Structure 1
Amino acid sequence: MKEEIIVSGRMNPGVDPVLHVWGWEIPVYLFLGGLAAGLLFFAGLYYLQGKENKYTTAVKKAPVLVPVILILGLLALFLDLHHKPYFWRLYTTIKLESPMSWGAWTLMIITPLSIIWAALHIREWFPKWDWKFEWLKNLEKFFSNYKKPMAWAMVVLGLILGIYTGILFSAFNARPLWNTSILGPLFLASGLSAGAAAVMLISKSHDERKLFARIDLIVIAVELFFIIHMFMGFMASTQVQQDAAQLFLGGAYTAPFWIFVVILGMIVPAVLEIMELRKMKVPVIIPAVLILFGSFMLRWLISNAGQISRYLY
């Protein structure tokens, strides 16, 4: 039993510093945002490399799903808001020191951009698609001439969006578990891994699946590097951050994190991808779904565990 001396009424259940503010909406929003960021990054990257016909799924087909993914993510975020009629006030100012301001404006730009890119490639899903109105056909021709600048914007904004999903947590200094700069790069890597998994899941090209399996192996290695160093940083830091790390190193979140995120979400898919690259028959749906599941569980567990971590000293 751990003895604690209560010196403040704030220790009452349901009151800060054990206040539970964020529910399922935030992890869902961050997961979908990271997935969208990964898909847009790869679409822009391979278009700029002139490989849009070689890697058709990554550049043309998968990005068509991004507007739906972003809208569902924004809907989850909207459901979390306590003052829903006033969300527009985020767009009355720009605060460079605010992660929420960065996220709001990035989403404001990247959402219509993803809709335009999806509209230009809608025929990848519906070959007989035809715009009924002449002005829509003219818009399609107009934006077709600016695909290269759009691709550059998707690469840059995709990276910003992916990092923002982690920085949103790390900006909360009052929560020791979130108070680490590694969360931004970690969530970016997780989003890129999820994007690669989605491309593998959708693609029917063996060469494309092999490419993204190799990419995913590299990204998984980077994720594991960040996770190891995140805990090393916590254990070499203050007592409160050591206590926060203990949530995953023997505490309540140990089994879910290491089983669902690390083993099932990273190591098992990596082994299966290596087997596939060595010409063994592995159903692509297994590693792809496991990666997506692990990416979601990473955000779910970090969100919930972070709200439990607290300062007592």
Structure 2
Amino acid sequence: MTSAFHFESLVWDWPIAIYLFLIGISAGLVTLSILLRRYHPEDGSSKSQIMLTTLFIAPTSIALGLFILIFHLTRPWTFWKLMFHYSFTSVMSMGVMLFQIYMLVLVLWLALIFRDELASLQQRWLPKLSVIPTLLARLLPLLRSIEILMLVLAVLLGAYTGFLLSALKSYPMLNNPLLPALFLFSGISSGIAVVMLVVTLRPKGDIHSREMHFLHRLETPVVWLEIFLLAAFFIGLALGDDGKLRALSAALASGFWAWWFWLGVVGLGLVLPLLLKAVGWGKTRLHILLISGCSLCGVLLLRYFILYAGQMTVA
């Protein structure tokens, strides 16, 4: 049976799209948090709404994404072998190494930022483990260096999801050098949307804080950059060989995925948020929920579109 979600050339299906979406959220949140701490250090403390969102969602989203990936494999119980046997010629193996380093540095970085809260929890529940606050105090002078490393890892992780798909050379649409940059900035866009949704949904969340103004200043430029990268992505297909032209036609000319792209990705995810902000929306909780929800849905729909439409055409 052939349909939009089931066709002969399909290798990676919807769980991979969710995985790509969750990894992008984690990388986007970490990138935003470090930018906030770098340019507005007074707002990047452990009390920050952005930092608190990153603390709970960044590790959770990447762990959930890896869980989905592991159990989507044909033999999930052998996944542990990838964690100890690396191949520098395999994109998947390099990704596993990146995930491991990313998670290790992420836990250390968050522990240093939330060291006071962690010390309070340790004293209450594990009073004999006094070595934890001592160790964090010794590592504190390295926080700036760890933060730089964390930013590099977040950017690499956000781009990696694009490299993972672009390594599929038999699919002309996916084998595109702009895919990593597109996934990186759409991940940052999803991070902005997640923070805004969390802050808006919290009863005590301050939607007029300096942190929210920081996000609002980033939101529109990031969306325009996404639009530019999408345009460049498809222009590259239009200027390519016969396989890329066929892929472009199959994805955008007609059919289910063309409607998905124009109505979902472009209309709901990009144009509607820009129009709502242009007419003055974004100042109330309801407005922010609507704009951020549309942006987040657009990023998820983009992941689905790239994954499925990209596998419809084989070179």
Spell out structure 1 runs of 4+ moving beyond 6 A: 126-129
Structure with the largest fraction of helix: 2
Measure the CA separation in 1 of the matches of 2:127 and 2:146.
Answer: 23
Measure the CA separation in 2 of the matches of 1:136 and 1:121.
Answer: 19
TM-score by length of 2: 0.84
Which range is displaced more, 97-106 or 155-164?
97-106
Which range is displaced more, 143-152 or 247-256?
143-152
Letter in 2 for 1:190: S
| Aligned positions of 1:184-223 closer than 5 A | 184-203=180-199, 204-206=206-208, 207-223=210-226
Query: Does 2:167 align with 1:177?
Result: no
Give ranges in structure 2 of 5+ residues lacking alignment: 200-205
1:185 deviation in Å? Answer: 0.3
Letter in 2 for 1:62: T
TM-score by length of 1: 0.84
| Aligned positions of 1:122-161 closer than 5 A | 130-131=121-122, 132-134=125-127, 136-143=129-136, 145=140, 146-161=142-157
**Aligned residue among 11, 15, 22 for 1:21:** 11
Q: 1:38 to 1:216 in 2, by over 3 A?
A: same
Assess if the C-alpha contact under 8 Å between 1:43 and 1:60 holds in 2: no
1:270 deviation in Å? Answer: 2.2
Query: Does 2:90 align with 1:86?
Result: no
Q: 1:142 to 1:277 in 2, by over 3 A?
A: farther
Assess if the C-alpha contact under 8 Å between 2:207 and 2:285 holds in 1: no
CA offsets 1:196-218 (integer angstroms, 9 cap, x no match): 11122223241322221221211
Q: 1:141 to 1:176 in 2, by over 3 A?
A: same
1:109 deviation in Å? Answer: 1.4
Measure the CA separation in 2 of the matches of 1:26 and 1:153.
Answer: 27
Letter in 2 for 1:165: T
1:77 deviation in Å? Answer: 0.4
Assess if the C-alpha contact under 8 Å between 2:27 and 2:188 holds in 1: yes
CA offsets 1:32-53 (integer angstroms, 9 cap, x no match): 0001001111222322345253
Give ranges in structure 1 of 5+ residues lacking alignment: 1-11
Which range is displaced more, 301-310 or 44-53?
44-53
Query: Does 2:70 align with 1:66?
Result: no
Measure the CA separation in 2 of the matches of 1:137 and 1:251.
Answer: 63
Q: 1:286 to 1:122 in 2, by over 3 A?
A: farther
Letter in 1 for 2:68: A
The SS at the match of 2:314 is coil
Query: Does 2:155 align with 1:164?
Result: no
Which range is displaced more, 75-84 or 204-213?
204-213
Query: Does 2:259 align with 1:255?
Result: yes
Measure the CA separation in 1 of the matches of 2:233 and 2:33.
Answer: 30
2:309 aligned residue = 305
Letter in 2 for 1:230: F
Query: Does 2:283 align with 1:287?
Result: no
| Aligned positions of 1:258-277 closer than 5 A | 258-276=262-280
CA offsets 1:135-166 (integer angstroms, 9 cap, x no match): 55532453351432332122110000000011
Assess if the C-alpha contact under 8 Å between 2:111 and 2:136 holds in 1: no
Measure the CA separation in 1 of the matches of 2:314 and 2:132.
Answer: 52
Measure the CA separation in 1 of the matches of 2:293 and 2:31.
Answer: 20
1:121 deviation in Å? Answer: 5.8
Letter in 2 for 1:130: L
Assess if the C-alpha contact under 8 Å between 1:182 and 1:226 holds in 2: yes
Query: Aligned pair count?
Result: 297
- Percent identity over the alignment is 29
Measure the CA separation in 2 of the matches of 1:32 and 1:18.
Answer: 27
Aligned CA-pair RMSD: 2.9
1:171 deviation in Å? Answer: 0.6
Assess if the C-alpha contact under 8 Å between 2:119 and 2:133 holds in 1: no
Measure the CA separation in 1 of the matches of 2:104 and 2:308.
Answer: 31
